[in-house]
Structure formats: structure tokens, C-alpha cells
Amino acid sequence: MSYPGGGEVRGDAYGTTPLVTGDAVVLDLRPAGFATRAVALALDAIVQIVLAILLGLLVGWMATTMDPAATAAVGLGGTILIFVGYPTAFETISRGRSLGKMALGLRVVGTDGSPERFRQALARSLTGFVEIWMTTGVIALITSMLSGDGRRVGDFLAGTVVVEERTGRPREEVVPMPPHLAAWASGVELSRLSPETAAAARQYVLRYAELAEHTRHEMGIRLADAVAAQISPPPPPGVTPPYFLAAVLAERRRRHEIALHERRTHRPTR
């Protein structure tokens, strides 16, 4: 089923509420400051240094009991895992966040706003071994200070940038009902709307204002198509994706609250 609406809402089309994609990181977040990145890097370095110390103790113990070649292999392999494998795996699994970045509210994203991919995390880690560890951070320091958005060599090679994630949002933000769609929404069949699709639509609506303008239309149509395929009837002609998705989400929440109230009201007493 194809979404019957059309067009793109310019500017902050849906009020002033930040309306984000379910499969991409917001594109207009502010690049992380140099000081914040330095602190996050220091926290990550501490973890890796501790792991390196433990590896050194293990290799020292093995040297007294095992063949030198095997000991050297373990030492080399462990070093690669700590300084390349660990940051690559961690940032890939956590979608762009290391322990230090988690603590400081930072995230690595592609320059197009997409989540960091394995190849990008690997490129950053391999380059980081040279520009951070082998040169005691001098190359990374100079590059970050000269770059307008704080990117180091690894970021340029990987096509990434470290950004600040927005914090301090309410625990749960309510998507308001567009008044002109309230009547239509009240008669919509929502039983086939999956939680995953609803969650993706909700992220898009809540962070709409944070998206780069040139991406709003494409992402909105894609999400609207997914939602329209799972509900009926379709929205009135000409309704744009942000309004359509907001109406569906608001009605879904309203029905959930009614059902919850009824369960509480009719709960049997013991």
C-alpha cells in the first residue's frame, strides 16, 4: 500500500516539538567540542591501559611456562584486540558509542547522519592506533584543533564525525493530535500496526525539527508508507507525513490510555 498523502512540510511544520528516524541518527546534532572529546578519549584510554596491564601480566606469566613463540603470539594478538578489536566491536555494537562517549553523551555518526558501521569503526580504530597511541595523541590533537567540527584523521578516513546527543528530554514525550485529523483517526483500524513501526514513526515525529531539511521528505514518506500498509482507512488526500504519523500515534496512545483506565476501573477486588 502506498501512502496517499504527499508533499513536504517546510520549516518546523508540526509546531515547535522536535519531530528522528527509526533507523538513522539525527543529522543536525552539534559536533562534539574538543574538550569533551578529550575527556571521553581519556576515559577510553584508561580502560585500554588497564586491559594492556592485565595482558602484560598474563604474558609475563606465560613466558615462564610456555614456548617464547606462543607467548609472543598471545602478546601480539592481545594487543591488537585491545587497541583495535575492542573499540571496533564496542562502537559497532553500541552504534557509535564507546564507554567514554557514553559517559559524556557523545556518539559517532557518519557524515550523512547514518549510524556508524563496522567498516567505519574499524577504520577509526586502525587509524587511532597510529594517531593516538603511536604518536601519544599528537596527530589527533593537531587534526582535531584544525578541523572545524573536531574531526581527527580517523574520522576523515572513515567518513564520520563525533556529535553531542541531546539530553534532558522528558522521560516520555506525548505526540499531540493534529486537530483536523482527529475525526479521521477516531475511526482508524490500528490492530495491525506493529510496535516496531509505531516506535520508528514516533522517533521521526518527536525529532522532526532536528532532521536536515533535505532528508525530511524521503524519511517521512518511507515511514508513512510503512504505517499506511498496516492501518485502514488511509488518511485524507494531501495530508503530509508528519501530520499523518502524529495522528496515528496520538490515537494509538488515546486508545491505550482508555484500555488501561478500564482495566484499572474494573479490576476485581479480593
The DSSP result for 121-167, as a single string, is HHHHHHHHIIIIIITTTHHHHHHHHHSTT---HHHHHHTEEEEEPP-
Whole-angstrom distance, CA of residue 116 vs CA of residue 211: 17
User: CA angle at residue 216 from 20 to 114, to 5 degrees?
Assistant: 55
**CA atoms in the 13 A half-sphere facing the CB of 11:** 3
Per-residue pLDDT of the chain (270 residues; tens, 9 = 90+): 455 655 444 334 443 333 333 334 444 467 888 788 889 999 999 999 999 999 999 999 888 888 888 899 999 999 999 999 999 999 999 989 999 999 988 999 887 667 889 999 999 999 999 999 998 888 888 888 887 778 899 999 999 989 887 544 444 567 889 999 999 999 999 999 998 888 888 888 888 877 777 677 888 889 999 999 999 999 999 899 999 999 999 999 999 889 888 877 765 544
Report pLDDT for 209: 78
Report pLDDT for 11: 37
Question: Sign of torsion, CA 181 185 187 189?
Answer: positive
Whole-angstrom distance, CA of residue 28 vs CA of residue 112: 10
Closest CA to 209 of 28, 68, 37, 3: 28
Question: Sign of torsion, CA 149 155 160 161?
Answer: negative
Give the three-class secondary structure for 38.
helix
The answer to whether the beta carbons of residues 12 and 209 sit under 8 Å apart is yes
The answer to whether the beta carbons of residues 106 and 163 sit under 8 Å apart is yes
Closest CA to 39 of 90, 97, 91, 103: 103
Q: Which three cell numbers stand for residue 55?
A: 595482558
Single-letter amino acid, residue 26: V
Report pLDDT for 29: 60
**Which residue is listed with cell 516539538?**
17
**176 exposed, middle or buried (CB, 10 Å; 0-12, 13-18, 19+)?**
middle
Report pLDDT for 15: 38
Q: Which three cell numbers stand for residue 196?
A: 516496531
Closest CA to 224 of 3, 4, 59: 3
Report pLDDT for 19: 30
Report pLDDT for 83: 93
User: CA angle at residue 131 from 103 to 54, to 5 degrees?
Assistant: 60
User: What size, in residues, is the chain?
Assistant: 270
The answer to whether the beta carbons of residues 152 and 140 sit under 8 Å apart is yes
